[in-house]
Structure 1
């Protein structure tokens, strides 16, 4: 399964990340690599808990795209 992950640079430096389809999955990191590693771990842990509870895994629904615009 693949989920859309949103990564944003923070004002304090570093990065934050969250998963729109999994609202409990969010994290921060000092570097881009660190935040990517952290969010992957958060997703894996959450999905493991869901499985252990016998619940249905949430399917990815968010769609991402890039929109090109002409800068003035």
Structure 2
């Protein structure tokens, strides 16, 4: 199964934002982590539906894996 990598970041106020390197402009933000991920899942679905409706190509997921590298 493949899917789109989503980067989740915490902002200075303690909220969360997400974005995907494969889907420029597809973003979500929320006060809580779970809500942010849920909103991003919905945003991806809507983004892809919009691309299809407009006859634009749907970019394939490019990431094979995602990991967090600890800071030195």
Which structure has more strand as a fraction of its residues? 1
Q: TM-score when scaled to structure 1?
A: 0.83
Q: TM-score, normalised by structure 2?
A: 0.83
Structure 1: tracts of 5 or more residues without a match: none
When the two chains are superposed, the root-mean-square deviation of aligned CA atoms in Å is 1.9
Aligned partners of 2:28 and 2:39 also within 8 Å? yes
CA contact (8 A) 2:5 2:66 kept: no
**Is 1:26 paired with 2:24?**
no
Moved over 4 A (4+): none
Between structure 1 and structure 2, the one with the greater Rg is 1
Aligned residues: 70
